[in-house]
Structure 1
């Protein structure tokens, strides 16, 4: 049987994975080139440009993802410390620290994920790379959403 802290951490990992699925995409203006190639070809070109950006070293991750990781780590540390103190008072400092760390990490993760209210925007260098790649193919990027 999985302990309660284990279930809490597992739920946090699942929520983190789900948030990763919600990614920003470039929005293309329906210029003459877009209209001539169609939506399917445009989506393929977007995938190719994204892969090219990654292979060139541009990473999609952003500051929002880093903030979520930072909040998770801070929450785990604060939770472990407060849990250890509470556990020491009750006579089980180790168990208190474990429960505190798990609940603090989950709080940090969830506040990072839910606090932003949306998927994290890609890093500027990544977006610029994909935009340029698409522009060189003939598309006009109006933004990302």
Structure 2
């Protein structure tokens, strides 16, 4: 199966935007400058990363699910291929299709909330600077 080149032109920006939906803290309005709050949020997020914390809480989940989907798709494809006379080709097609569908699905359904330790670190950093975080969005 070939993908037309014109399809790739609109697909790439959509996939890139799907991965850019990270949340950040919301601060209780205390009469201070919003720019100062944004600077404090950025500084605290940088400090959390420097401390070795990662925003994402799904370490290894995508890779594990990809292998799992490939195995399931390969088994299903082998059964379908055996019915129609070529189990190996069916297994390869089933595995490839399942992996591709799973990766695209993960891009659109990924959890954009921060890891608990990262969130706690940033919230504490903001409180230490005199801000009052009330949640993340």
Under a length normalisation based on structure 2, what TM-score does the superposition of the two structures give?
Answer: 0.75
Match of 1:61 in 2: 56
Match of 1:26 in 2: 25
Under a length normalisation based on structure 1, what TM-score does the superposition of the two structures give?
Answer: 0.71
Superposed CA RMSD: 2.9
Distance 1:30 1:122 in 2: 22
**How far is 1:61 from its partner?**
0.8
85-94 vs 129-138, which deviates more? 85-94
Deviations 1:30-86 (A, max 9, x none): 114xx1xx12222122111111101101111124x7555543332222112211332
Mapped pair 1:51 → 2:46: yes
Q: Is the 8 A contact 1:67 1:112 kept in 2?
A: no
2:112 paired residue among 91, 98, 120:
120
Match of 2:78 in 1: 84
Distance 2:115 2:60 in 1: 11
Unmatched segments (≥5 aa) in structure 2: none
Unmatched segments (≥5 aa) in structure 1: none
Which one has the bigger helix percentage? Answer: 1
Mapped pair 1:73 → 2:67: yes
